[in-house]
Structure 1
Amino acid sequence: MSTQPEHGADKRRSTSAMAPRNLARLCLTYALAGLAGYLATLIGMPLPWMLGPFFFLTAASVLGYISPIVPMGRELGQVAIGLAVGMRFTPAVLLATATLVPHMLVSTLYVIAYTFVAALLIKPLARIDSVSAFFATAAGGVADMASVSKEYGGDPGSVAIVHAMRVALVVAVVPFLVFFLGDHGTAPASTEVGATNYLSLIIALGLAYLVAVALKPTPLPNPWLVGPILTGMVLGVSEILVVQVPSFLIIVAQIMLGTWLGSQFKRSLLVRLPRVTISAMVAASFMIVCAGMGAFVLSYFGQMPYATSFLALAPAAVTEMVLTAKVMNLDAEIVTAFHVMRIAVVSSTVLLVFKLYMRMKGSEIGPGIQ
């Protein structure tokens, strides 16, 4: 995965992908991704339309294939998923979610604690400096953590690799674990009956997109997912516009997400820093185990299904965890709320926790910390 914040690289690759000479390759990439998704459905893979393209493109990227991507494909996929999740909110669901706010805060502290321990674990394993170890395991976005790490003297390349492996392992493992738990929900009645009004759907998707764009300059985490969720909530709860997001659109969104995730891996980078890559897998496995153990406690005190609790505590990959919950008819709304709370708290406290970490390590604090 790229060692720098991905947005600029994605934009350049997306733009070049639309050049005539790359159009055939772009079509081939997504055709093969769609085929991988279909084959994944035949073998009963959980979340097949995302994991099939993800595994295929990861393998192709590691072998040296540079995959062109659809401009803003991942963002538009998140818009569709976010709107579908937002439309599932009702006044009763909002009330039930609000009662879980104390559980969200405690769970966020738990996630901060186990990522803190993961930093202590990965530093000697990967032989990286304390600053890089901390920001590599902090439960925040890769671009933000790599940038802050560089500001305080860390190695953004190592940070990016650890985050990439964490997200990859969570996406590759957690849906399987949830699937084999057998704790599937039942589809809400609103998605089982009635035809899709495509004019209303287009209007709702347009509104969701505009809200996401409007929220980009704000500190709100992941506006491409959270903005459409908020849009769906307002439209659905107020009954101004109630739409059904068709299953084929969710399938397309999954293909977009899986293709984007798989295309982020670069063989040259993984070969250059093999020890960091392997150590990142160990640290990610540790965090998944911690999330699984914490889910037992959360499911008991929060009176939630274990699978929902597990997805709520999973270390990052918010879009993919929300998507997993939606596809398996679990409480995607609750999973969303837990992850948004975590991202908001981590983003606002990460430097305070960093100070504590550095003092525990007996290390000098970087130039940007007072």
Structure 2
Amino acid sequence: MPTLASFPLLPLLRFLPTLALGIAGGALAFAVNLPLPWLLGAMIATTVASLSGVRLRSPGRGRKGVLVVIGVMLGSAFTPQLSGDLGLWSLSLAVMLVATAAMMAFSVWFSQRVAGHTRETSLYAGVPGGVSTVTVMAMASDADLRVVGMTHAVRILVLLVAIPPVLQAIGHVDLAGATPDLSQWLWLPGLADAAWLTAAGLGGLALGRLLRLPNALLFGPALVSAALHLSGVTHAAVPPTLLALAQVLIGVSVGVRFAGTSLARVGHALVMAVAQALVLLAIAVLAAWAGHLLTGVSPAAALLAYMPGGAPELSLVALTLGIDPAFVTTHHLLRISVLVLILPGLLKRLGKR
């Protein structure tokens, strides 16, 4: 006999109040012309509610679907005109890897020496990216999972909030020009384009799992979509309404990570996580400027590509603002791939030391 708890739509019904709060926060941010309104508005609204003690539901499987959609959208940025630029990205990718190593070295040192966390907690909290992989690995250790999760969540929160002012400070970005008008909001792809986008999502999902790609739900569809768009098979694009909904769901998924967090009980950990995130942001800014000088890529694109972690969030920001999403996505794919490959051995070696 099926029970109410086993009803398939029950998790969705429980999530609707959280989704409504996220949409309301996004709409308010859109009304007051806040940059990245749907992402930041939803994130800020749900973060404030979570820290205030309101019990919010996570998107759960809904986030997985959003990652597939974002992957397809990111792949559409790989046009045939990019083929001549791909070879020029190698130096920038090298700069990103050096910056990633510097970020991790600082994060581990700061977490252990300044914040006072244990060695294992510091190692897992200090990894600049791959939060899902890191969290799973931390579960099999003696690391403090609350500190690890909070450090990564705060890092993503600080980076997303800091993106608009930092981008405006370094120039080359018109945040106000990124808002579509009514006709663009109402645009929908044709049946053929919708079929290609759906095929890219489903095919990419299967490919990502088959190849065991890091963050397969995101990068599998991105690779298939990129192949279709690079080859000129399709020029299909995702409608702005779906892009806005994806931003809301990603913003909500960041905000609900603070559910059950008491400012009074974890104030020290929060302050340390914010301080660490600000230093990592400074390292990313310096690395982005160096990448700009060495390769000529725009500082804005380099900054989004070099920021630590949050591949879905940062790639979505690049896509929303039109800041070379193909460049940004490629860098985050390489970062996560390298981290997944070397992280187990690195953590084991550092742990012994």
**TM bin (shorter chain):** 0.7 to 0.9
User: Which of these residues, 81, 92, 102, is aligned with residue 113 of structure 1?
Assistant: 102
CA-to-aligned-CA distance 1:163-206 (integer Å, 9 cap, x gap):
1111221122224422454422798xxxx8x9621453144224
Unmatched 5+ stretches in structure 2: 179-183
For the residue of structure 2 that corresponds to 1:273, the secondary structure is: helix
Please, which moves more after superposition, 62-71 or 40-49?
62-71
2:10 to 12, 16, 19: 19
Residue 181 of structure 2: aligned partner: none
How far, CA to CA, are the matches of 2:270 and 2:8 in structure 1? 28
Q: Secondary structure at the match of 1:78?
A: helix
Aligned to 2:297: 304
Structure 1 149/345 Cα, relative in aligned 2: closer, same or farther at 3 Å?
same
> In the alignment, does 2:126 pair up with 1:137?
yes
1:331 to 311, 324, 331: 324
Whichever residue aligns with residue 33 of structure 1, its letter is G
> Counterpart in 2 of 1:8?
none
1:239-291 alpha-carbon deviations (Å, 9 max, x no partner): 33331211111011111111121112123465543322221111111101110
Q: Take 2:133 and 2:124, find their aligned partners in 1: how far apart are those partners?
A: 9
Write the distance in 2 (CA, Å) between the matches of 1:298 and 1:30. Answer: 38
Contact 2:70 2:218 in 1 (8 A): yes
Q: How many residues align?
A: 341
Of residues 334, 339, 353, the one that matches 1:341 is 334
Partner of 2:54: 65
Structure 1 SS opposite 2:56:
coil
TM (norm. structure 1) is 0.83
| CA distance, structure 1, for counterparts of residue 59 and residue 125 of structure 2 | 28
Three-state SS of the structure 2 residue aligned to 1:239 is: coil
RMSD: 2.8
Distance 1:15 1:343 in 2: 35
Deviations along 1:65-107, whole A, 9 cap, x unmatched? 2223455322222222222221121233133123212321332
Is 1:32–2:21 an aligned residue pair? yes
**Which residue of 2 is the match for residue 7 of structure 1?**
none
State the Cα distance separating 1:155 from its structure 2 match: 2.5
| Correspondence for 1:230 | 223
Task: Give the drift of 1:306.
Answer: 0.7
Aligned CA distance change for structure 1 residues 151 and 244 (closer, same or farther; 3 Å) = closer
SS of residue in 1 equivalent to 2:198 = helix
Q: Which amino acid aligns with 2:193?
A: S
Who is 1:239 aligned against?
Answer: 232
Shifted more, 292-301 versus 150-159: the winner is 150-159
Secondary structure, counterpart of 1:267 in structure 2: coil
Structure 2: distance between partners of 1:124 and 1:15: 47
Contact (CA 8 Å) 1:322, 1:336: kept in 2 or not? yes
Mapping 1:93-172, distance limit 5 Å: 93-172=82-161
Unaligned runs of 5+ in 1: 1-13, 359-363, 366-370
CA distance in 2, matches of 1:351, 1:282: 26
Tell me if 1:76 matches 2:62: no
Q: C-alpha separation between the residues in 2 aligned to 1:18 and 1:134?
A: 39
Deviation at 1:152, TM superposition (A): 4.5
The answer (yes or no) to whether the contact 2:209–2:216 under 8 Å persists in 1 is yes
In the other structure, the counterpart of 2:247 is 254
8 Å CA contact retained: 1:312, 1:339: yes
CA distance in 2, matches of 1:71, 1:321: 20
Greater mean alpha carbon deviation, residues 153-162 or residues 198-207? 198-207
Q: 1:71 to 1:15 in 2, by over 3 A?
A: farther
Q: In structure 2, the residue corresponding to 1:28 is in which secondary structure?
A: helix
Cα gap change, 1:16/1:341 in structure 2, threshold over 3 Å: closer, same or farther? farther
Contact 2:38 2:248 in 1 (8 A): yes
Superposition TM-score, scaled by structure 2 size: 0.86
Distance in 2 between the 1:31 and 1:150 partners? Answer: 32
Whether the 8 Å contact between 2:130 and 2:339 is mirrored in structure 1 is: no
Aligned pair in 2 of structure 1 residues 30, 354: CA closer, same or farther (>3 Å)?
closer
Equivalent residue in structure 1 for 2:347, among 343, 351, 354: 354
Secondary structure (helix, strand or coil) at the match of 1:46 reads coil
Measure, in 2, the Cα distance between the counterparts of 1:52 and 1:16: 31
Task: Pick from 280, 285, 299 the counterpart of residue 278 of structure 2.
Answer: 285
| Secondary structure of 1:99 counterpart | helix
CA distance in 1, matches of 2:114, 2:201: 43
